[in-house]
Structure 1
Amino acid sequence: MISRRNFLKVLPVSALLLSGCAAQSAPANTDKLVFSHSYPLDYAAQFTADCYEGGYTLLSLPDSDQKFLVVPEDAAEVDALPDGVTVLRQPVQNIYLVSTSVMDLFIHLDALDTITLSGTKAEGWYLDDAKTAMEAGRIAYAGKYSAPDYEQILAANCSLAIENTMIFHTPEVKEQLERFGIPALVERSSYESGPLARMEWIKFWGILLGKEELAEQLFAAQAERIAVLADQAPTGKTCAFFSITANDLANVRKGGDYVSQMIELAGGDYVFSDLTDSGNSLSTMNLPLEDFYAGAKDADVLLYNSTIEGVVSTIDELVAKCPLLAEFKAVQNGDVWCTTQSFFQQSMELADFVVDLHRVLTEDAPADLQFLTHVT
């Protein structure tokens, strides 16, 4: 087996020198790729990027053993790669996008035109650009992750399927796509523990799309906004982030999750910061209402997650979901807020959520918030 250290130094391929105009002849070969440097990442831990002379970049997702060699459009062909390395030649186009959290990053990178197919219907998008593109026919629905329309995907000359980890529940779909010659990239941004780490995935897509400089600028702007708040003193206020499920359970984020970290960055204390569950890798868990009551009844602020069970606009709607909530301190004090349904799709605006929440914690009646609405 080739170690990662040796793999980075010399990546074996077969060889001819590139000559002539790329438009007039196919790219030639080279006998080796020479490692240049590791792409610098400040927060993300779920991918690495290793750069080689000539513009080649190896994107690796360590915990899943996925490796993708991004090859510039006119660069030499690459043969005899180690097992498990998939070549993606730029420009990467006609993408089948299943992972909804990736769409916002493509929109920010001005790369919506690289997506031809979606695993989400138009009505499932809370991003205006994505919804408009689907309604205009520029992006077509090609089936959800577990039941893609293979015929449609092949007819669209799809070069890449971008999946999330849900695909591991139906591994036969990934295998079928790959049998058809369509690489399936399972992105792992949801496994990042912090908001900055999740947003830094824009660099991953920037490398894939040849937009590294723009990706770095976008990320730096978001990181700077959060850094300003990180230097401020805690407010001393406690927060609960939750929704009430149809079977009368409270769905909450685990301690250490990126949402709980955003609450901390905004100056709050997450009431379930000590909550862990070693039974799975999910970032949420369901609590019996009695346990939720014990942990959150004295929270200063309640944040209702509308992305699971829908928006609540009034206290009466909220209490109808769970009568126990009428006894909560935040309900009695009128300090209940509801997230917008776009919250989890707007992956590149996490800094705005932190800013919104900081205003909720520090202002008497904050208005014109992007992600939070007052439940009255």
Structure 2
Amino acid sequence: MPDDEADGVAVRPLSADRFAEFRAITDYAFQPEEGPQEYDDEPERIADRYGAFDGGDLVSVCGHYDLTANLRGEWVSMAGLAAVATPPERRRKGYVRALIDDALERWRGKFPLAALWPFSRSYYAQFGWATANTYTEYTCPPDQLAFARGAVDGEARPASADDWRDLQAVHEAQAGETSLALRRSSEAWWRERVLREDDEDRPWAYVYERDGEARGYLVYSFEDLGGPKHMNQRLTVADAAAANHDAWLGMLGFLADHDSQASEVRLRSDARTDLLDLVSDPEAVDCEVKTGPMARIVDVADALSACPYPADVSAELTLRVTDETAAWNDGQFRLAVSDGSGTVTADASGDPDATVGIGTLSQLVVGYHDVEAARRIGDLSLADGGIADALAALFPPERTYLRTFF
């Protein structure tokens, strides 16, 4: 694939001998408080690394992930963009735009969708990304979880990196119920990213079992909040999954048993607020809804063809899509759906049934917004009211929750 050489900038893969430079740039961007770091050999790659070069100088970097995500009940390929960083002396010169343009070109034809975790939502919105899901963060005293002690039969046991297959099985059971959940099938991902096997500050991990089968897991760490030792610590759950509600209760009961060790527990879930209905004193629970990752369609024809549709819905309509970043998406498309599958063709003839920006269309496809929200909050406009019914039938809202940070 040719380099993106607009304005004299070339984007190309980074070889192993550029690893120290890559880390120096990302360390300054994401953990400057740690100071300059030194690195030996390049570790096993989970993401592919790319750099923007101005002349011979490496001026900006990013990582590309090859992911698999649940889209409306089916697994599809999804690209991940991460570690986008530019040294301060090189910023505001268009290098990130060059990286994004190059990434979309490389992903086209392979990944219908792409996702990222933004440092600034408005910054990435200008390139067509839009919020993919929200999530709820709870903080409460452990005794507020005491209702779950003994609620179900089961037991928790410590987990090591060698137990990654048990965690993977639980994760996949939960992921099958939430749109945009990632598959995480790589052993290296579990060992290096979740359990941080070789990290000096690696987290604690427990598997929750019922009848000898893994049904849930927790990965968490402790933070000293000051004051007497063991009297004022926060237990923060970094990752968790439960195969069903009973397993979730079992894990909450396990967290409640840390009341002699932590003054508060912090955990996150999708945007539902069920915990407030379960605790004895909801006012003792801080509950904050936050925005999560962002997603965008890479190629409109690919995404609308890959999207599963309700089997009992048939429709044919024309969409006028606007996309200021990926020119191949900026146009008019005819979508024909029957038997759960869609066929997409470019069709510039006639007036469109609907006009929509790439960000709002992305939210419709993944299920974050329903049609009414896309009209009210987004930029979806319709030729007539009947089109709203057709779109609502094709794109019903989903429980979206991409909880995996990359």
The question of a shared fold, defined as TM-score above 0.5 by the shorter chain, is answered with no
> Which structure shows the bigger proportion of residues in strand conformation?
2
Q: Which has the higher relative contact order, 1 or 2, with Cα contacts under 8 A spaced 6 or more apart?
A: 2
The interval holding the TM-score normalised by the smaller chain is: under 0.3
> Which structure shows the bigger proportion of residues in helix conformation?
1
TM (normalized to structure 1)? Answer: 0.25
TM (normalized to structure 2)? Answer: 0.23
